[in-house]
Structure 1
Amino acid sequence: MSQGLLDAQNGPRSKDDANGRGISRRTFLKFSATVGAAAGGGLLLGFSIPAMSQGQADKSVIGGDAAEPAQPGVFAPNAFIQIDTAGKVTLVIPKVEMGQGVYTSIPMLIAEELEVLLDSVTIDHAPPNEKLFSDPLLGGQLTGGSTSIRYAWDPMRKAGATARVLLINAAAQQWQVDPATCHAQVGQVIHAESNRSIGYGQLVDAAAKLPAPQNVPLKDPKEFKIIGTSVKRLDSPGKVDGTAVFGLDVRVPNMVYAAIANCPVFGGTLGSVDDSNAKKIPGVRQVVKIDNAVAVIGDHTWAAKRGVAALNITWNEGAGANLSMKQIVDDLAAAADHGTGAVARKDGDVNKGFNDAKTRVDAVYQQPFLAHATMEPVNCTVHVRPDGCDIWLGTQVPTRIVDTAVKVTGLPADKILVHNHLLGGGFGRRLEFDMATQALKIGKQLGTPVKVFFTREEDIQHDMFRPYYYDKISAGLDANGKPVAWQHRIVGSSILARFAPPAVRNGLDPDAVEVASDLPYDLPNQLIDYVRQEPRTVPTGFWRGVGPARSTFVVESFIDELAAQAKVDPVKYRRDLLGKSPRALGVLNTATKAAGWGNSVPKGQGRGVSVMHAFGSFFSMVVDVTVDQGEVTVNRVVCAVDCGMVVNPNTIEAQVQGGIIFGITGALYSEITIKDGRVEQNNFTDYRMLRIDQTPPIEVNIVKSGEAPGGIGEPGTAALAAALSNAVYSATGRRLRQLPVGSQLKTA
C-alpha cells in the first residue's frame, strides 16, 4: 500500500485524534452498526463508522501499491466502501489476507447488500486505525482466532446495505419519486415504473449529501445472490501471474538489504563482533549492532548473507545458556502436582464422583514446542528518517507495528506509515512485531531504506514458539463405563498474559483452557483448572488452532481411552454423551457415515475419530492410517463441518484442507527441542513438512445450517491430531499421549 493510499484513507489527520490516525471531523458521515459477539457472550457493541475523505486512491492490483489518487467526488458512506464518479467500487478490507480467503469472502458480504457484481470491485488493505477497524471479538485491529467472518457478518452487510439505500434515495430524489418504488441492481438504481435507470457513479455526489439511514434492514438469506455461492478467489490471478506483492517482494528506491544473526541463546545479548572479514566481501556496506543481534548491510541478499557467515561473534549467553528440555518438562510436571490452579469450570462434586466411580482412568498428555515455519520467512522493510518512518511488511497487527515504531523511533504516530501487504503465511507468527522492532532499530542507524530478513534457519530458531503443554486428566467411570467424574489440569505458558494482559483474570488464561472448559459432552461432575508455568527464557506465541488445538488433542484422545476402557466403540461412546449437543452429534454422524465407520480395515491400518466445538463451529474428523515399522501414512481424512451460514463453500473446503495438512504435519513430525539454551532444529531437513506426495485425499462435508457463521481457518488443524492419534491406536494398540506421533512411535 502506497503512502498516497494511506494518506487518502486516513484523511486529514484530526487534532482530536491522539493516535494521529483519525479522520477529519468535517468529513464524518456516521451510521450505526451493531456487532454481535461470538457464542455465549451476548455482547452488543454499538459504534459509528466515519466516512472516508475525498480524493481517495485508485488501486487495481490486490497486494500491490496504489496508483495515483482519484479525483475528488468519491462517495464513501462508511469505512469500507468507496465509489467514484466513474462507478468504480473499492472495498477496504479490515482483515489481512494470508491465504484464508478474506479478500473474497468479506467483499461477498458487502457486494451482496450493495448490489454490485463481485468481479467488478477492487480491494484495498485497511490502514492501521483502531477506531475504524477494531474487531470487538479480539479487542483490536488484528487478524486471527478465526474471527474474520464472525466479526464481518453483520457490519459488512450493513455497510453495503446503508450505501445501497443512500444511492437509492439519491436517485429517487433526482427523479422525484418514492424511494420504495426504486431498487438497486448490478451497480445501478432502477425505477421500473418509468423504465429509468442510473449508475452508481452518477449518484455519488448527491448521495454523499444525504443523511445516513438508521437500522437499514438486511436481506433475507433466501434473497442471497452471492453469499452461499462458490466464488473464485479474487486474489488468485495476481498470485498466479506474479503481480501480487508480499512483504518479501517489496522494492523501494535506494533500498539495501540486511541479513541478521540473532543470539542463539534465548535471552542472550551481543558481546563483541569481529567484522573485518565480512567487510571484505564485495557488496557488503556496513555492519550494524543492536542489543541481541548483528546485521550485515549489503547491496543484495547474497552479499548480506555471506557477510553474516563471515562474522566472528561473541555472545553474552546469560542465564539461559544451560536450558534443556528436561528442565522445561520437569518444571511443568512439578507445577502440575503443586496446589490448585485457576478454576475454569467447576460443575457438581468431583470428589464424590470419583468416590462413587467403579473405575478411575488417569493420564498425562504432552505436546511439544512448535515453530510456524511460514512459506514466507519473516521480513520487514523500513525507512527511518528524522521527519517520518515508512514500514513495508505483511502483518496481522498493523496498529501494533505503529506502536513499536513510535517506541523505537521516538516519532509521533502520525509520522508512521505502514504499508501492509499480502502475507505468505501467518499461522500466528505475524501476530508478533519482533521483526519490525529489530528492523526499525537497524534502520534507525542507517537513514536509508533497508529490507531486513530472516533466513529459514533464523526464522525457525528465533520464532515465537507454540508452548510446550503438560496436561493431567482423570475420569471416574460408572459400571457401564460412562464418566461420572472428570478432572483436567492444564499446565503451560500463558500467551495472553503477554499479548493481551487484561484478558487474563484471576490467573486464568481463557485461550489455554478453550475447548477443555466447554465440552459438548454430558459430564455431570467436572473440574478444569489452569496452572501457568513459563518455559524459562523460551518465547511463546499463538500457533494455528491456538488453545483448541492443544485441548482437543488431549480431550478427544482421552475420550477414546475411556471408550477402550469401557469396551465400547469410540463413535458409539461419543454418541451416548452428545445427547445435549445436537450440532456436535450431527457432524459426528455425518463424518462417520461418509467415512464408512464400522467397516473393517486391513491389518496394519487403523481409523480414528474426533469431535470438536471451537471458534463457533462444530467439527468431526475421521482419519485412516497405515503404520509400517514406525512410519505413519495418512490414507484418507473425512471431515464434517457445521460452521453456520456459509459465505463461500470454496473457501471453507480450501481452509479445512489446508488446516488438515498443517495439522498432519504438526501431529506427525513437528517438534522444537532445546539444548544448551538453543533450538536444535534449523531448517526443513530437521523440521519436517508433509510432502505433496504424502498428502491424503481429504473429503469435506459441509452441514447446512442457519446459525450465525463460525470460524473456519483454524478448526481443521485443531481437530486433526486427536483423530490421527486415535487411528494409530486402532492400528497398533499403542496409546500415544505425546506428540509428535512419528517420534513417539519410534521410541515407544
Structure 2
Amino acid sequence: MDERKPLPMRYVSTNKKGCSPSCEGRGMSKSLTISPSSRKLSRREFLVRSGAITCAVMFSSSDILSSARAAILASDSESEHSPHISPNIWVRFLSDGSVEIVCPALELGQGAHTSLPRFVAEELDIDWNDAKVVQAGVNDELYGNPLAWNTQITAASRTCVGYFDVLRVAGAQARYVLLDAASRLWAVETTTLSTEPGIVVHHESGRRIAYRDLLEHANVPDSFPRFFALDELPQPPDDYFGDPPPSIVAPRAETHDAVPLKHRDKYRLIGTDASRRDIEEKTRGTASYAMDIQLPGMLYAVVETGPTPSSTPTEVDDADALKVAGVEQILRLPYGIAVIGSRMSAINKGRRKLRIQWRSDTTAHPYDSKDVLDEFASMARNPAFPAVRAWHQGDRNELSRVLSYPDTGEHYTFEMTSELVYQAPLEPQNATIAVADDGQSALGWVGTQWPTVDLQTVASILEIPPEKLTLHVPYVGGGFGRRLEPGAIVDAAHIAKTIRRPIKVIWTREDDLKRNPFRQALACKIEATTTKDGSICAIRHRIVADSWLARLFPNYFELYQQTDPGNWVGARHAYDIPLQAIDVITPRRSIPICYMRGIGVAQIKFAQESLINQIAARLGVDAIQYRLKQLRAEPRAINVLQTVADMSDWGQRGPAPDRRGRALGVAYTPYSNAHVAMVADVSIDQSSGQIRVHQIWCAVDVGMAVQPDIVISQMEGGITQGLSVALLERVNVSAGAVQQTNFHDYPILRCTDAPPITIKLVDLGAPMAGVGELGMMQIAPAINNAVAQIIGTHLHALPMTPENVLEALRGKATDA
C-alpha cells in the first residue's frame, strides 16, 4: 500500500441479483450487495413517481400502482401541449416561470434540499424564489454520487462535495438551452448574450426576454458543449474514500472550445445564506415523513422479537392476542412474530398478550458489554495479538525501533475504551409497503440514507425485479448513520408479501433500541516517542473494534485488508510526525454495529488529542502552542487553532483552573479535508463527579461554505450530539440482551444542559469539504483535556461519567 495515500474504495458487486436477507436475528441481511446501476427512468417518469403519493391515497392496492403509471401517461400526453422543457434530468422549466430542480440527496435535516439545488440555480442564473425542489427517484445510474462509489447515498460528509460539479454543469446546460433559443430568436451570436436572474439580455441592442418566454423557442440539443471551471483546486484524496475520480469540469486540452462555468467570485447564491426549503413545512407541522403515509385499506403491524439478536420463535400462543378487537392476524416471521391490525393501540395491546418461547443460537457467544470491552482493551494492549497494518508512513523497522528503544526524549502511551452508543433518531424506524394483488409489483415509503440498499433488499424479499418496486423517500427524521441499512422496511416486506394488503410497520422506541445496530464498542492504545526537543517523531495506534463493513459489505472489507476504515481513519492526522502506523484488530461479535455520525473518528480523536495534551503537560508547554509546533506544514490547521485561541481568550484565561474550579480544554481534528479546532470551558463537581460544560468555541475550515448558516447549524448540532455522547450515552448489554429500553434509562442531553456554542468559519481558499460529521469529533477530547487540568489526570473511557471522574479522583486511573 502507498504509505501516504489511503487505499481507495472500489466498487465491487458480489452477485447480480442483489442481497438476500437472511433474517439475522433482526430480519436484516448478513451482507448486502449494491448493483452497479439501477434501471433508467425517463425524466418525466421519475418526476411523477416522486410525487405519486398525491395520487396513491385514492385507490386500492392494485389501483395505487396503476394510478402512478396512469399519471406518467397523462404527463407524457400533457407535455405535447404545454410550454415546458427539460434540458436534462435535473431541470424542468415550467410555463409559469418557475423551475423544478431535482435533488439527488435525501433531506435528513441537514439542508440538502437547499444547498444542492442552489448549485443548479447558480449556474442557471435564476431567482431562488423561482426554484421548486423535487426529490429524485431511486436510481444510482442517474443520481449516484461520483465521490461515493456512484451510489445514491447521503452520508459521510460527501453530499455537497460529490454533487457540486454535476449540478453546476446541469445548471449550465439549462442556461445554454435558453441562450441558444434567444440567439436564434434574435439572430445574434450566443457569445453576445448574458443573463440576469431569470432573464436573457442582449446588451448591444438592449433587448431582454424572460426565461419563460423562451420556452416555446427552446430546443434541447443532441449534445452539449463541455463545461469547465478555471482556477479551481482539484478535490484532494479522502481518508475513507481514497482518490477522487477525474473532475468533469477540469480544464483539458480541448478547453478552448468549451464553455466556462461561473468563477467563485461571481457567485450570487453559493456562499450566501437562504431560508431552508424544509424549515417552514417542519415548523408548521405540514412536512411529510414516512411515519405520515396513509393508504386506503392500510393495516398496521408491530413485530415482537426475542431478547437477543440471534433469537428465533419456537412456540407461540396467540389466542389471547387474537381476541383483542382490532387485531386481524398474527404472522410468524423467521425472526419474530408480527401482530397485524387496524389500529396501533390494538396491535400493541395484542402484542403484550403473546406468549412466545424463544431459542437463541447456541453457537453465538452471549455479548456482555463489560467483558467485550475488557477483551478489546486486552487485545489493544497486547502487542503479541495479531493485527493488520492498515496504514503506515515511514520505515516500518525504524518505527518499531524508535518506539521500543527511544534514543532521546520520552515514550508515552494512552489507552481508552468506548462503549456501544445508540444513534437515537427522533423518528423511530418505520416503513409502508403496498404490493399489487398479483404480487408482481409494489410501492414503498421509507426514511433512508441509502435508498438503493432498501430497494434491492425489499425487491429480494418480495421476489420481484428491482424495476417493479417504486420506492418513495420522504423527509427523514434523523439518520446519523442508522438509516444506512434497512430496518422496519424488512418487516413490512415480509408481511406485505404474505397478506397482499398495504401495511405500515412502526417500531416503538423500545423496538428501536433493542433492534438497533449500535456505534461500535472500541478500544485503542497509542504509543508515541518524542525527540529531545519534545517533538513527536513516532506514533503507533492499535485499534480494536467490530466492523459494520465486514457485516454488510464483506467485499469492501476485503479491499481494506480485512479492516474497517470507519474504525481507524481517525488515527491519521496532520501532525508533522515522520513515523506513523495504524494496527487494527477486527473481532466479530454477536451485537450488530453500524456507523454513527463521525464513524470511529470521534473515538480515536478522544485518545489521540488526549495524548497530545498529556505530552504537552509533561513538557510544561501550552497545549495550543505545542500543537502549532507539530503542525508546521499545515497552514489551515494553524489557522483554526489560532482562531479558536482568540475566540476563547485562551491567552488571557489560560488552560489552568481558575478559582471557580473551571478550566479550558482544546482539541483539533482534520477530517474529510476539513480542519476544526475547539475549546471547551469545563468545571467538575468533585463531590459527585459531574462534569459541566459552560461554553464552547469552535473554528472550522471547510473550504468554501456553500451555505454558511447551514454549516454553523450542522456544527452546533454535531457538537450538541457529541456532548451528549461524550458525557451520557452508552448501551449496556448483558447475556446478549440490551438493558436500556427508552430515554428514561438511556439519557440524552437536555436543553437545560446545553452550553452556548460559538462557531466561526474560516477559509484559506481550499476546495469545498464536508461538514455533517465534524462537530462530533472534537468535543470529547476538548472536555477531557479540561478535566485533566482540573483533576490532574485524563479520563480513559467514553462516556465520561461521574463514576469515571470519581474513580480518577481516587487515583484508580492515571495517565500512563
TM surpasses 0.5: yes
SS at the partner of 2:577? coil
Once the 2 structures are TM-superposed, how far is the Cα of residue 639 of structure 1 from its aligned partner?
0.3
Following superposition, the deviation at residue 318 of structure 1 comes to 2.1
Contact residue 305 and residue 336 of structure 2 kept, 8 A: yes
Distance in 1 of aligned mates of 2:646 and 2:56: 49
Residue 351 of structure 1 corresponds to which residue in structure 2? 400
Structure 1 residues 292, 418: closer, same or farther in 2, change over 3 A?
same
Q: Whole-Å Cα distance in 2 between the matches of residues 652 and 602 of structure 1?
A: 36
Q: Aligned pair in 2 of structure 1 residues 656, 63: CA closer, same or farther (>3 Å)?
A: farther
2:435 corresponding residue in structure 1: 384
Aligned positions of 1:290-301 closer than 5 A: 290-301=333-344
Counterpart among 328, 339, 342 of residue 389 in structure 2: 342
* Partner Cα distance (2:668, 2:365) in 1: 42
CA distance 1:314–1:704, shift in 2 (3 Å): same
CA distance in 2, matches of 1:390, 1:202: 38
2:777 aligned with 1:726: no
- Residue 231 of structure 2 is matched in structure 1 by none
How do 1:338-487 residues align onto structure 2 when only pairs under 5 Å count? 338-348=385-395, 349-354=398-403, 355=405, 356-385=407-436, 386-487=439-540
- How far the C-alpha of 1:248 sits from its partner, in A, is 0.8
Gap change, CA 1:340 and 1:323, over 3 Å in 2: closer
Structure 1 residues 546, 707: closer, same or farther in 2, change over 3 A?
same
Name which of structure 1's ranges 724-733 and 222-231 shifts more when overlaid on structure 2. 724-733
The answer to whether the 8 Å contact 2:389/2:581 transfers is no
Q: Which of the numbers 358, 364, 377 marks the counterpart of 1:333?
A: 377
Give the 3 Å change call, closer, same or farther, for CA 639–401 of structure 1 in structure 2. Answer: same
CA distance 1:712–1:55, shift in 2 (3 Å): closer
Q: Secondary structure at the match of 2:611?
A: helix
> Partner of 1:13 in structure 2?
none
Code of the residue aligned with 1:542 in structure 2: it is Y
Which residue number corresponds to residue 20 of structure 2? none
> 2:649 and 2:51 mapped to 1: Cα distance?
48
- Distance in 1 of aligned mates of 2:716 and 2:38: 41
Which of 567, 591, 599 is residue 512 of structure 1 equivalent to?
A: 567
Question: Which sections of structure 2, spanning at least 5 residues, go unmatched?
Answer: 1-34, 58-67, 228-258, 809-816
Alpha-carbon distance, 1:267 to partner: 1.6
Taking structure 1 as reference, are residues 148 and 581 closer, same or farther at Cα in structure 2, changes over 3 Å only? Answer: same
CA-CA distance at 1:405 after TM superposition: 1.5
After TM superposition, the structure 1 = structure 2 runs for residues 272-291 of structure 1, keeping only pairs within 5 Å, are 272-291=315-334
Partner of 1:212: 224
Q: Is the 8 A contact 2:49 2:137 kept in 1?
A: no
In the alignment, is residue 613 of structure 1 matched against residue 670 of structure 2? yes
Aligned to 1:745: 805
Alignment of 1:139-154 (within 5 A): 139=149, 140-154=151-165
Equivalent residue, structure 1, for 2:296: 253
Q: Match of 2:571, SS?
A: coil
Work out the number of aligned pairs and report it. 703
Deviations 1:317-336 (A, max 9, x none): 22347431243224423533
Q: Is the 8 A contact 1:325 1:673 kept in 2?
A: yes
Percent identical pairs in the alignment equals 33
2:88 to 78, 84, 104: 78
Pair 1:528 & 2:582 matched: yes
Q: What is the CA–CA distance in structure 2 between the aligned matches of 1:353 and 1:64, rounded to whole Å?
A: 69
Cα distance, 1:705 vs structure 2: 3.1
Q: 1:18, 1:375 → 2: CA distance?
A: 32
Q: 2:659 aligns with which of 582, 588, 602?
A: 602
* Corresponding position: 1:271 with 2:331: no
Using the TM superposition, name which of 707-716 and 71-80 deviates more: 71-80
C-alpha distance in 1 between matches for 2:45 and 2:347: 43
Q: In structure 2, how many angstroms separate the alpha carbons of the residues matched to 1:85 and 1:121?
A: 13
Bigger mean CA deviation after superposition, 709-718 or 282-291: 282-291
Deviation at 1:384, TM superposition (A): 2.2
Report the CA distance shift for 1:59/1:198 in structure 2 as closer, same or farther (over 3 A): farther
**SS of residue matched to 1:470:** strand
What's the CA shift for 1:593? 1.1
State the AA in 2 paired with 1:622: V
Letter in 2 for 1:313: I
Matched position secondary structure for 2:650 = coil
In structure 2, what is the Cα distance between the partners aligned to 1:594 and 1:342?
A: 39
Which shows bigger deviation, 291-300 or 204-213?
Answer: 204-213
Aligned to 1:11: none
CA contact (8 A) 2:50 2:472 kept: no
2:51 & 2:786 partners in 1: Cα distance? Answer: 48
The aligned counterpart of 1:541 is: 594
TM-score by length of structure 2 reads 0.83
Answer whether contact 2:740 2:746 (CA < 8 A) is retained: yes
Amino acid in structure 2 at the alignment position of 1:736:
L
Rounded to whole Å, the distance in 1 between the matches of 2:539 and 2:770 is 28
Give the unaligned 5+ runs of structure 1: 1-16, 25-51
Q: Aligned in 2, Cα 1:685/1:58: closer, same or farther, shift over 3 Å?
A: closer
Per-residue CA deviations over 1:239-295 (Å, capped at 9, x if unaligned) read: 111221011111111111112212220222122221112122221111121111112
- Letter of the 2:668 partner, please give it: V
Query: Per-residue deviation at 1:57?
Result: 3.9
CA distance in 1, matches of 2:126, 2:143: 23
RMSD across aligned C-alpha pairs, in angstroms?
Answer: 2.3
Query: What does 1:140-219 align with in structure 2 at a 5 Å threshold?
Result: 140-210=151-221, 211-215=223-227, 216-219=259-262
1:668 to 727, 733, 737: 727
After TM superposition, give the deviation of residue 541 of structure 1 in Å: 0.4
Judge conservation of contact 1:367–1:470 (CA < 8 Å) in 2.
Answer: yes
1:294 counterpart SS class = strand
Residue type of the alignment partner of 2:681: D
Counterpart secondary structure, 2:448 = coil
Q: Give, as a single letter, the amino acid of the residue that structure 2 aligns with 1:614.
A: Y
Alignment match, 1:644 = 703
Residue 40 of structure 1 aligns with which residue? none
8 A Cα contact 2:722 2:776, kept in partner: yes
Amino acid at match of 1:627: I
Q: 2:39 aligns with which of 21, 26, 34?
A: 21
Shift in Å at residue 746 of structure 1?
Answer: 4.5
Does the Cα contact within 8 Å between 1:247 and 1:394 map onto a contact in 2? yes
User: What is the letter of the counterpart of residue 535 of structure 2?
Assistant: K
1:723 CA drift (Å):
0.8
Which letter maps to 2:759? V
Distance 2:674 2:275 in 1: 23
Q: Say which SS state the counterpart of residue 638 (structure 1) adopts.
A: strand
1:698 counterpart = 2:709 = no
Moved more, 625-634 or 574-583: 625-634
SS in 2 for 1:318: coil
The code of the aligned residue for 1:324 comes to D
Deviation of the 1:649 alpha carbon: 0.8
